[in-house]
């Protein structure tokens, strides 16, 4: 897997947000940063980060099967080491049991 990143202010970030919206039907609100996961040919998934306030950030993701341990480690490195956040929030759909289970395994807590 390879990664590409962008923000709401550049073309790569806009492309990643469009991919997210196309696949989820959900809008991406500015400002945001994004990391895409690809295989060298196709974009497989994207993590969109919004609501950054200096210590917290919200994660929105799409990518069936592409969020491996390696890609999650890459995303967490960005959040905790680059941005120096203390908390990542995620709000999966209550119907998305798979995402809820994955988030719990990663240490996310229900609020």
Instruction: Yes or no: say if 70 and 48 are a contact pair by the CB < 8 Å rule.
Output: no
Predicted confidence at residue 71, as pLDDT, reads 87
Predicted confidence at residue 37, as pLDDT, reads 94
pLDDT in tens, the chain (111 residues): 899 999 999 999 999 999 999 999 999 999 999 999 999 999 999 999 999 999 999 999 998 888 888 888 899 999 999 999 999 998 888 888 888 888 888 888 877
Instruction: Give the Å distances, CA to CA, from 107 to 4, 19, 61, 100, 101.
Output: 25, 27, 16, 11, 10
């Amino acid at each position: 897997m390879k990664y590409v990143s962008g923000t709401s202010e550049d073309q790569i970030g806009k492309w990643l947000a469009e991919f997210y919206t196309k696949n989820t039907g959900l809008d991406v609100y500015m400002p945001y940063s994004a990391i895409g996961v690809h295989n060298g040919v196709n974009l497989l998934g994207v993590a969109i980060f919004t609501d950054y306030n200096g210590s917290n950030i919200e994660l929105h993701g799409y990518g069936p099967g592409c969020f491996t341990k390696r890609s999650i480690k890459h995303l967490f490195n960005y959040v905790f080491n680059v941005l120096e956040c203390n908390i990542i929030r995620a709000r999966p759909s209550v119907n998305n049991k798979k995402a809820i289970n994955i988030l719990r395994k990663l240490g996310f807590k229900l609020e």
